[in-house]
Structure 1
Amino acid sequence: MESLLSAAFPDANFILNNDSASHHGHMGDDGSGESHFSLTIEWAGFAGMNRVARQRTVNKALGDLPGQRVHALAIKATAPGE
């Protein structure tokens, strides 16, 4: 996911956390250790976009990962200065 995010959002600052361990045994945990993630991303390209548009932009960049290999992805997307 990190390489996809870096390619799609040049010059973005982001932190991608694997939260799967805290969801062990819950719905969506496939045992791979890569089912639940949280992303905080700051990118100038998000300026003027609302929250939904930002999340759609992130999901588009990640392709089929969310909903296929990744059960859950919490996204906090901001523009610089927000």
Structure 2
Amino acid sequence: MMMMEKIETALAVLQPQELQIEDESHMHSRGQESHFKVVLVSAEFTDVRKVQRHQKVYAALGDLMQQFHALALHTFSPEEWQAELAIPDSPHCRGGSLHDK
């Protein structure tokens, strides 16, 4: 099973109304399936602060968190998602890892 599929399966516990997972590894120097961007819309995030939303995602991912290098999270309640907030583009890697040497 590919990492994106594993992430999708793990996040199902949050009952997403919208779930987008992008493998952004090509923008970085750590190799394949190392950097991901997740857009997640769930009623679980209604009246929940950003830090707590991220904690819920981390808890859902569990041990998977150790299997990749980076995760960009964009979490929304259904109401926020309806407001059509823009999802920012992820920055390109600036290097600086041991893998760059």
Structure 1 length as normaliser, TM-score? 0.83
Partner of 2:59: 60
Note the aligned Cα RMSD (angstroms). 1.1
**Which residue among 12, 16, 20 is the counterpart of 2:21?**
16
What is the aligned residue count? Answer: 74
Runs ≥4 in structure 1, deviation > 4 angstroms?
none
Provide the identity percentage.
Answer: 35
Q: Which of 65, 69, 72 does residue 70 from structure 2 map onto?
A: 72
Using CA pairs under 8 Å that are at least 6 residues apart, name the structure with larger relative contact order, 1 or 2: 1
Q: Which runs of 5+ in 2 are unaligned?
A: 1-6, 81-101
Partner residue in 2 for 1:42: 41
Structure label with greater radius of gyration: 2
Quick one: which amino acid aligns to residue 77 of structure 1? T
Q: Which has the higher strand share?
A: 1
